[in-house]
Structure 1
Amino acid sequence: MSSKSARVMSDDAASVDVPVGGAVMKGRSGLARIWYAAGYSAAGLKAAYRGEAAFRQLVLLNLLLIPLAFLLDVSRVERAVLVAVVFLGLIVELLNSAIEATVDRISFELHPLAKQAKDMGSAAQLLALCLIGLVWAVILIP
């Protein structure tokens, strides 16, 4: 057993090595699995906030637009859509940052497929930002 794995008893009473640190959560179930998953999610949000200027800018945009959505005289469904699209912008930025980090982890070498992956992530973010603008405009402009 390596120093980075733990011995866990499986359902059929055989023991298996399960990597520690979140690589595989098959050794955890129930509330422990949820607890560790939440911790990994928090670490991801923290990493994005610290390392990605675009994510920080979108957080600021969310801090402005979400309260504004609750101040506007719109229906509950419209308010929900206004809030949902700005959250979608954050989600797409997290995925875009994950793509970039993965490509950079593999190699900093310039490669057409690496460029294509990064460009597609960037395009997804552009479309998410356009969607935010479009939805807010459609709901707010009479």
Structure 2
Amino acid sequence: MRSDGSALSLKRWWRSAGFAWDGVRHVYRTQANFRIELWAALLALACTWWLNAPAAPVILSCALVLGLELLNTAVEAVVDLASPAVHPLARVAKDAAAAAVLVASVGALGVGLVVLLPPLLGRLGG
């Protein structure tokens, strides 16, 4: 599809944002892991607010996990389109994309423990 004008066009940006939200809605509807990760992110953000903890690391960690889950879904769709039959390289691509989400999730858990656990223990103990 050709570009319909300047990169600074609000109309063009709004149209592109609509396509992006279509992708988010599709992934939310079709991917259970994305729904779980989204609700976990909202819970982490609520805890961050309740504990008055630094929000930036939590927000960035949540965005990383959700963004990688979106990319994982895109990789799976493209691999399925390009290689409908089982192929060892298709499996590598899908497994590596899933591993990226796993690594980010473990990192986000670490961030959550470092950022949220101390103020939580302070609230529970004090």
TM class by shorter chain equals 0.7 to 0.9
Give the secondary-structure state (helix, strand or coil) at the position aligned to 1:124: helix
TM-score under structure 2 normalisation?
Answer: 0.85
Give the number of aligned pairs: 116
User: Which amino acid is 2:110 matched to?
Assistant: L
User: Which amino acid is 1:60 matched to?
Assistant: W
Determine the structure 2 residue equivalent to 1:103. 79
Measure how far apart 1:66 and its partner are: 1.0
What is the CA–CA distance in structure 2 between the aligned matches of 1:73 and 1:63, rounded to whole Å? Answer: 15
Greater relative CO, 1 or 2 (CA 8 Å, sep 6+): 2
Q: Looking at CA atoms only, which structure, 1 or 2, has the larger radius of gyration? A: 1
Gaps of 5+ in 2: 119-126
What is the CA–CA distance in structure 2 between the aligned matches of 1:139 and 1:129, rounded to whole Å? Answer: 15
What is the CA–CA distance in structure 1 between the aligned matches of 2:75 and 2:94, rounded to whole Å? Answer: 7
Determine the structure 2 residue equivalent to 1:14. none
Measure how far apart 1:53 and its partner are: 0.8
Percent sequence identity is 37
More strand by share: 1
- Hey, which bits of structure 1, 4+ residues long, moved more than 6 A? none
What is the CA–CA distance in structure 1 between the aligned matches of 2:75 and 2:115, rounded to whole Å? Answer: 32
Measure how far apart 1:136 and its partner are: 1.1
What is the CA–CA distance in structure 1 between the aligned matches of 2:114 and 2:46, rounded to whole Å? Answer: 18
More helix by share: 2
